[in-house]
Every structure is written in structure tokens, then in C-alpha cells.
Chain A
Amino acid sequence: MSDLDRAIEQLRACRLIPESQVRELCYKARELLIEEGNVVSVDAPVTICGDIHGQFHDLMELFRVGGDVPDTNYLFMGDFVDRGFYSLESFLLLLCLKVRYPDRITLIRGNHESRQITTVYGFYDECIRKYGSANVWRYCCEVFDYLALGAIVLGASSELEPTSSTVNDTAQSNLAIADSELETEVLDSRGHVTMSTYRPRQRSSSDASTDSRNISPPRDISAAPGQVAAPSRSGAPGTGASSDGNGSAVTSRTGAVLCVHGGLSPLIDSVDKIRLIDRKQEVPHEGAMCDLLWSDPDEIEGWGLSPRGAGFLFGGDIVKQFNHLNGLSLVARAHQLVMEGYKEMFDGGIVTVWSAPNYCYRCGNVAAILELGEDASGGGTVARSNGEFGRSNGISGDNRVVSPGRRYRVFEAAAQDTRGMPAKKPVADYFL
């Protein structure tokens, strides 16, 4: 067993590794991350995760629900640290997994992966408490500076494969829907389907519509994919490239998915612009890089000031336009607590995924992860690369951008007795 495997085993048991090993790990991680572009290309199938915030035992629950690494490909959209009691264990485990299985796990930067924020929100204090000095905090912050700013998921299937898990009554009744595609499915942590939405098979260019069958309490899914007008060019989604006419006939109809921690920026109108940022620095207070990590979608027109004091608010029109111009079908982001674990907005053009259940051991929310399946037609496969991926690899033979099938697995906080929380919690949790 290699040192790395041993470290993974130890961290999985929520036990820290020695400082010297952290230093070595961070060095290796940096070497790896430095090769990644600002926007990493990731092939479906992939499971997209939102904020973790040091809730180590809930991260273990996430792996239980979503499958273990390397069996499942993961994309974590940042905010690994701060707030929870186990930022170190959580982040170091993810980093170990990244170094061990670089093609199986993608980490992008959240606004908490920053020197300034971690000194306020707990990670710095945790490092001092657990290692006795700021060294480990410094090693980790240097890794933060190299994390990618976003990811593009390619080759996701527009259609969901039926759930392999328990088929309950509801799922059976779904079979009655002829000639339709399962588009969204929500499963609880035991794998039971709690909600499904369908859209008719798109044989022609007729507008897609959604047949939504709510089984559990209604959620904010009114996704009517396909309403987004198709881009007029045919380059690989997210690249802004034009078609090189390679004539690939059988290709994915599914648009690419942009993953970013916060959201869009008024300074960024194309994915390519993200690639131009010099990211290897502390998160600035303003500018494109800051916005990507700080912004939030909101029910407004255009852009608005963010109450967070950094980033912007952006409306549905902005998302629609950005997706259209970049051949995207969906923006997946994290950054905002959602009580139901995930929330789709703007006709399914953007989704918030939140993966820290009972956030801060106080909020009472459930968490979710988003699974995007692999396009069974096989046309959309692009070799994963850590840098700029092949731009001539046009994969869209159809002008239509269809949103990918989305499977949300919703889960609750790990059981109290396994969470190993300190018995005495910080008393300022509430006002007394």
C-alpha cells in the first residue's frame, strides 16, 4: 500500500495525517492543478457536488449515496472548508483522492478557498488548533490558488437511464408514459424515487415540453428544456469554437454544462474569457474571478448588486443569453444554501446544488448531488484533458441544445452518533 493510499485510509477514518505529509500532498496537488486550465473539461458520467464546508461525516454520507471514488466520477464545486468542524479532514481527503485519481475527481475553487475568508470562517483557526501552527493553513492556501475556476461537462445524456435501485410503485407507473424521456429524477438517500419529470422524445424540431409528475412535495422544477434557442454555430459547447466541419454525424444533442462555484460575471460573456484569467492568486475583491466565485442568480432582470458585498446578482435573461452564446444547456453552481438540496431556476437554465446537509449543524436542510449520465449514443465523448481540450473536436451535429437528464440524489445529515461532533458546540450558534 502506498503512502497515499495509507493517507486516504487514515483520512477516511477522520484522522489527520502528519504535517510533513500534508506538505508533500499539497506540493503534488499543486503540480497536478497547475496543468489544469481555468476551465477543466470533464466527460459525463459525472456527479456534481456543491458546498461541503468541513462537514466530514456528511461527505462520507455523500460518498455512500453517490458511490465511492474511483467508481464514481466526481466534480466538487468548491467551499470544501470553513464552518464545519472538520475542514482539514474533508479537504485533505479530497486532495488525496485528487492526487490518487486525477481523472476521477475534479475540484474547483469556491469563495471560501481564500486566505481572507478562511481567517474569518474557521479554517485558519482549525489549522492552528489541530496542527499548532499556521503551516498547514499556508500549504492549503497555496493549493487553493491553483484550483480551477470552473469546469465544462461534455457528453452528458439527455435521457436518464432508469434507476438501477429499488423500483417502487411510482417508478412502475412511470412506465406507462410512452414515448417520453425521463428528464429529471429525484431520489432519496435510500434510492427511492420521489419525483420524476418527463419530456416527449424529440423526433422533430418541435418544442420540447415537460410532463412533470410530482410525487413528493412540489419542487421548483418547471424545466422546459429546449426553449433556449439554439446557437447558430456548431463548435464544441463551451469553447466558442466554430465548426471545423469534421462531419461527425452521430453526436450528442446535449449541450455542455458549465460548473462554477458562484455564477456569472458581467465581465465574462463567454467561457473562453474565463480561460484568459490569471487565476493563480488569492481571490480578488472584485473582477471576473471574484464574480465567478461570489455571484448569485436572482429573480431580477439583468445585473444587480449582491448583498454579500462581492460578486453580482444576475437574472434569468443573463443566464439564457450566456447559455445560448456558449452552447450550454445548463449552468450548475453551488454557493447558496438550498433547504431542498438543489434548486433549478430560469426554466432549468441554472441549478444550485448544495451538498452540506443540516448546514452548520443548525439549518435543518437536506443536501443533494447531481448525476449527469453518459450519452449512450457515444457521439459526445471527448477525451478528458486537464488543459485546453481539442477545439476542433466539434461534437454538435444538431443545432438544438438539449438539457441533460438530471438525477438528483437527496440526502440527510449523517446520523448524530456517527458524526462524532464535539459534545460541546460553539454556543454562539444561537442568540441566548
Chain B
Amino acid sequence: MASIPNLNSLRQGRGRGRGLGFGNVSRPGKDQVVQGTDNDASVSRLSAVELGYLDDPYATALTPPGSATRRLPIINRGTYVRTTTIDQLVTRFLGPWSPNKQRKQIISLGAGSDTRVFRLLSSRQTPDFIYHELDFAVNTTAKIRAIRSAPELQRVLGIDSPVSGEGSPVTVSEAGDALQSPSYHVHPVDLRSLPTHSNPAAALPGVETGLPTLLISECCLVYLSPIEAQKVVSFFTEGLFGQIAPGSDGDALGHTGGAPLGLILYEPIRPNDAFGEVMVSNLAARGIQLQTLHKYASLEAQRTRFREQGFGDGQAAGDIEFIWKNWVTEEEKGRVAGLEMLDEMEEWELLARHYCIAWGWRDQAHISAFAGWKDLEAQKGG
């Protein structure tokens, strides 16, 4: 789930400065709507988990108590495809666990109440990655609070005593909005403030700029203006990870020499057909603007975006319908279809065609951190 920026401060023409950050909350009601969408995604995830679409032992702990609701079958299926597709991209990036392998790094933008880090940590013998979550302080605070009250989450982080206790590997900031541990960091940060940092590394303590790194934006950058979204990505591609990694030079293929870097996007697309137009106006009625949607309206526009933003070694995309059809095995499709009677095939296809997963990467000549992505089936065309 993405965190959604404070839309009051983002909206143009209201006489408010934009990009002022999260402190600019002037309408608590609006803010609650935004917060509600985060809860909403965790509720959707819990629904999919409880019905057997997903296996996620941490879904309950990271869903607000008492908010469990059964979602409609198409929503459950969409949650399933979105989650398993990103899982697969992440798993292929991390590769099989083995001791003494170079560690990798994942940075999740607008992570919200996402459970992925806990699922990864518990699925690998010892952590061979560093996982960073970036979100507004209000969201990171809620998440850290959830961790503090859920022993199963603490166990995954390797703590049996309360967080921040004596000798604990985990430290939490005084405000309760930041968390540091050997493999998991939670950063309270407004993404739009990142590009303004003169010293990129200081903006996100704990990020190792030499490691092959995967950025994940699950419905996050889409809420920024196109310029802001572009700057946030550039902050990583050029700022934080732009420096020449020790012992490597630029090569003939134009690799910059910065660490291998990949990006996964999950966002709506195709705003210009009947469904898309209704989507835009329905969300606008709720005060939600998908600001980059029209700029990156098609799969082709997404691929171009990756190319132009420095992910020169690969750019691929597929809508959720394509991925359901082509990535999910027949056996698994049968299992999922058997969970609930889905009486909405046309609606499912309509909905699923309006969300895409796009992924792109840059490697280094001698490190192929994204080799696992090369044989994935992507969708052609727009």
C-alpha cells in the first residue's frame, strides 16, 4: 500500500505551497480520507489472506483491529495478482539464498502497512538483504506501533524483548516514527523532500549506496506531480546511487558506474477510455488525484519512462489482466478460481486492464543483479 501524500498541500490553485511536506495538514477530514486508503489496502490484503488467495501470516498484525472486511472477488483477485507479481520480481531480484553472497537492498517507497519485509525476512535463513521503507511520519509511526504490539513481527526482526530494550538489535526514534535494525529500516520522510537534500546519503541513513538495489513504488509515485515523481526517481538514480561504485568505471554500454538499480511500479493506466475516465472522476470526487496517470497512460509510456530515467538495461510492463493470464500457472489459476465464484469476468478484465506492473533496471558490466528479470514474459504494445 502506498502512502498518499497530503492532498491539500498537493492540490494546485489553492494558494498553498506545494511540496511543503506533511506538516501542512489543514483539513483533518481530508487527512482521514487519505489515511483511510492505507487501511483500505491492508483490509483488502487481509480479505485476500483470509479467503486463501495469499499466504501472509503478518496481514492481521498490520491491519487495524476490527476493520476486517470481506472484499468482492475481483478485488481479492486483483490484490492477489498485484502482490504475487511484485513478490516474484522481488524474489528473482534477490535470487536463491546462499551464504556469503553479496547482500542486496530494497527500498520501498510509500510502504504504508506493507508486510513484504516480514515475509522476506522469515523466508530466508539469515537476512541477505537490507530493506528500507519510506513513508510519511504518520504512517511510519502507525507501523512501528503495530510492530511494538505484535510479538510475531518482533520475532521476525530478531527481538524477543520489547523494541528498543537493552541489547535489542532494533532502535526506534524518540518520536516513534523511525526504526533502525541491521536488515530493516523505517524512514519517516516526505518523498518530495528527498531531491532537495544536498547530501543524499544523509537523507536516508542506513542505505548502502554500493549495493544492488531495488526500488518499489506500489501506487505511490502516481500521486506526485510528474515533475516531482521524476525528481524522486532521479534522486535515487543520479543522487544516491549515481556515484561511481568503488572499483567500477563506466563502460562502453554507457553504464554510469553507479550501483545496479531496478524499479518496480504498480500503478493505474489507460485513463482515456470509458472506464479510465470514470476512474479519474470517481477518485477526484474523493479528493484523490492520480497526477502522473495521464503522462504515463500506457505500457509504452511506462517503458519510455524507464528508459528516460536511466534504467537503460531493461524496460518491461504488463497489465494485471495480461499477468493473470500469462504469469499465473493453470494449476494456480484453478486454485484461485476455486476460492470464490467470480461472477464478474468482464468487469474483472476491465478493472485488470487498468492497472499495470512495470519494471526496469540498469546493471553493471560485471554485475548482473537483474539477470533474473530477463526471461520474464512482458506485454507488447501499449
Q: A: which residues have CB within 8 A of B?
A: 111-112, 116-117, 120-121, 294, 296, 307-310, 336-339, 358-365, 424-425, 427-432
User: Hey, which chain A residues are within 8 Å of B184, CB to CB?
Assistant: none
Q: Are B37 and A337 in contact (CB under 8 A)?
A: no
Q: A120-B70, A432-B4 are in contact. List 20 more A-B contacts (CB 8 A).
A: A121-B343, A307-B345, A309-B338, A309-B342, A337-B344, A360-B347, A363-B274, A363-B275, A363-B347, A363-B350, A364-B275, A364-B277, A427-B37, A428-B44, A428-B75, A430-B268, A431-B78, A431-B82, A431-B268, A432-B40
Q: CB distance A432 to B41 under 8 Å?
A: yes
Contacting residues of chain B (199-234) with chain A, CB-CB under 8 angstroms: 219
Bound complex: CA of A116 vs CA of B4, how far in Å? 36
Cβ 8 A contact of A432, one of B37, B71, B277, B285: B37
CB–CB B278/A362 < 8 A: yes
Contacts of B286 in A (CB 8 A): 424-425, 427
Docked complex: B55-111 residues within 8 A CB-CB of A: 70-73, 75, 78-79, 82
Contact B40 A428 (CB under 8 A): yes
**Minimum Cβ distance to chain B for residue A359 (Å):** 7
- In this complex, which of B1, B73, B79, B274 has the most chain A Cβ atoms within 10 angstroms of its Cβ? B274
Q: Complex Cα distance A358/B350, Å?
A: 12
Task: Give B227-273 interface residues, CB cut-off 8 Å to A.
Answer: 268, 273
List chain B residues, Cβ under 8 A from A359.
347
A430:B282 contact, CB within 8 angstroms: yes
Q: Does B120 contact A (CB under 8 A)?
A: no
In Å, the complex CA distance between A364 and B273 comes to 8
Does B191 reach chain A (CB closer than 8 Å)? Answer: no
Q: Which residues of A contact B341 (CB under 8 A)?
A: 116-117, 120, 308-310
In the assembled complex, the Cα of A364 lies from the Cα of B277 at a distance in Å of: 7
**Residues of chain B from 22 to 75 with CB closer than 8 A to chain A in the complex:** 36-37, 40-41, 43-44, 70-73, 75
Chain A contacts for B376, CB-based, 8 A: none
Chain B residues positioned under 8 Å from A310 (CB to CB)? 341
| Chain B interfacial residues counted at CB < 8 A | 44
Across the interface, which residues of B come within 8 angstroms of A431, CB to CB?
41, 44, 75, 78-79, 82, 219, 268, 355
The answer to whether A427 touches B343, judged by C-beta atoms less than 8 angstroms apart, is no
Closest to B355 in A: A431
The residue in chain A whose Cβ has the minimal distance to the Cβ of B273 is A364
Cβ-defined contact, A361 with B44, below 8 A: no
The answer to whether A363 and B278 touch (CB under 8 A), given A117-B343, A309-B341, A431-B82, is yes
- Nearest first, the 6 A-B pairs at minimum CB distance are A364-B274, A337-B346, A364-B278, A427-B40, A364-B275, A432-B37
Residues on the A chain within 8 Å of B219, using CB = 431-432
B20 proximal to A (CB < 8 A): no
A121–B342 Cα distance when bound, in Å, is 10
Q: Which of chain B's residues have a CB closer than 8 A to the CB of A362?
A: 275, 278-279, 282, 351
Tell me the residues in window 159-197 of chain B with beta carbons closer than 8 Å to chain A beta carbons: none
In whole angstroms, how far apart are the Cα atoms of A103 and B219 in the complex?
53
B283 touches A430 (CB 8 A): yes
Question: Which chain A residues border B278 with CB–CB below 8 Å?
Answer: 358, 361-364
A-B contacts, 21 listed (Cβ < 8 Å): A112-B343, A117-B343, A296-B345, A309-B337, A337-B347, A363-B350, A364-B277, A365-B274, A425-B282, A425-B286, A428-B43, A428-B44, A428-B72, A430-B279, A431-B41, A431-B78, A431-B79, A431-B355, A432-B2, A432-B37, A432-B40
Question: Is residue B288 within 8 Å, beta carbon to beta carbon, of the partner chain?
Answer: yes
Q: With the chains together, A251 CA to B282 CA distance in Å?
A: 53
CA distance A309 to B268 in the complex (A): 28
User: In whole angstroms, what is the CA distance A365 to B343 when docked?
Assistant: 17
B300 on the A face (CB < 8 A): no
Q: Are A307 and B40 in contact (CB under 8 A)?
A: no
Contacts of A428 in B (CB 8 A): 40, 43-44, 71-72, 75
The residues of B that contact A117 with a CB separation of less than 8 Å are 341, 343
Interface string of B1-15 (1 = CB under 8 A from A): 110100000000000
Contact residues in B for A360 (Cβ distance below 8 Å): 347
B340 within 8 A of A: yes
**Contact in complex: B346, A336 (CB < 8 Å):** yes
- Residues on B with C-beta less than 8 A from A112 are 343
Bound together, the chains give a CA A111 to CA B72 distance in angstroms of: 16
A365 to B349, CA, bound (A): 14
B43, B268, B346: residue with the most chain A Cβ atoms closer than 10 Å:
B346
Q: Is the CB of A361 within 8 A of B275?
A: no
Give B71's nearest chain A residue, CB to CB. A428
A308-B345 in contact (CB<8A):
yes
Q: Kindly report which residue of chain A lies nearest to residue B38, judged by CB atoms.
A: A432
- CB-defined contacts of B73 to chain A, threshold 8 Å: 120
Give chain B nearest CB distance to A300 CB in angstroms: 15
CB-based contact B340/A120 at 8 Å: yes
User: Smallest Cβ distance from B289 to chain A, in angstroms?
Assistant: 12
* Pairwise interchain contact B1-A432, C-beta atoms closer than 8 A: yes
Q: Which residues of B contact A307 (CB under 8 A)?
A: 337, 342, 345
Determine how close the nearest CB of chain B comes to the CB of A127; give it in whole angstroms. Answer: 16
Q: What is the minimal beta-carbon distance from A116 to any residue of chain B, in angstroms?
A: 8
CB neighbours of B75 from chain A (8 A): 428, 431
**Smallest Cβ-Cβ distance to A335: which chain B residue:** B343
Contact with A along B322-354 (1 / 0, CB 8 A): 000000000000000110111111110011000
Which has the most chain A C-beta neighbours within 10 Å: B273, B277, B282, B288? B282
Name the interface residues of B101-156: CB closer than 8 Å to any CB of A: none
Chain A neighbourhood of B71, CB < 8 A:
428
Least CB distance, A377 to chain B, in whole angstroms: 39
Separation of A117 and B342 alpha carbons in the complex (Å): 10
Nearest CB in chain A: distance from B156 CB, A: 26
Chain A residues, CB < 8 A from B1: 432
Inter-subunit contact B274/A339 (CB<8 Å): yes
- B contact residues around A116 at 8 Å (CB): 341
Chain B residue contacts of A111, Cβ below 8 A: 343
Give bound CA distance, A432 to B277, whole Å: 16
- Compute how far the CA of A103 lies from the CA of B355 in the bound complex, rounded to whole angstroms: 47
Residues A361 and B337 in contact, CB atoms below 8 Å apart: no
- Whole-angstrom distance between the Cβ of A414 and the nearest chain B Cβ: 14
User: Could you say which of A358, A360, A424, A427 has the most chain B C-beta atoms within 10 Å of its C-beta?
Assistant: A427
Nearest residue (CB) in B for A362 is B278
Q: Which residues of B contact A296 (CB under 8 A)?
A: 345
Query: CB-CB < 8 A to A339: which residues of B?
Result: 274
What is the CA–CA distance of A394 and B43 in the complex, to the nearest angstrom? 60
Shortest CB distance B173–A (Å): 28
Minimum Cβ distance to chain A for residue B53 (Å): 14
Question: Nearest A residue to B34 by beta-carbon distance?
Answer: A432
Q: Which residue of A lies closest to B340 (CB)?
A: A120
Contact with A along B297-318 (1 / 0, CB 8 A): 0000000000000000000000
Q: How far is the CA of A365 from the CA of B1 in the complex (A)?
A: 29
Shortest Cβ distance from A119 into B: residue = B70
Min CB–CB distance A431 → chain B (angstroms): 6
A306, closest chain B residue (CB) = B345
Q: How far is the CA of A363 from the CA of B36 in the complex (A)?
A: 23
